[in-house]
Amino acid sequence: MTLVDEKKIQRRKETRLFVFLVVCLFPLLSVAIVGGYGFMVWFLQMLYGPPGTL
């Protein structure tokens, strides 16, 4: 392969990786983080009760 062909292949791989990250991974990761935080708050409220005045 020539250097030009290798650069085209590398660019295509980088483009696919970018699309995968933007379309699949980041949305799933953000939903998992927000869901995990919500679960943690819910579980702590089960243990310690709802927040109240001090």
DSSP per residue, 14-54? HHHHHHHIIIIIHHHHHHHHHHHHHHHHHHHHHHH-S----
The length of the chain is 54
pLDDT class for 48, splitting at 50, 70, 90? very high
Mean pLDDT (whole number) for 36-42: 97
Give mean pLDDT, residues 11-26. 95
**Rounded-to-integer distance, Cα 26 and Cα 16, Å:** 14
pLDDT at 54 exceeding the cut of 70: no
Q: Is the pTM of this model over 0.85?
A: no
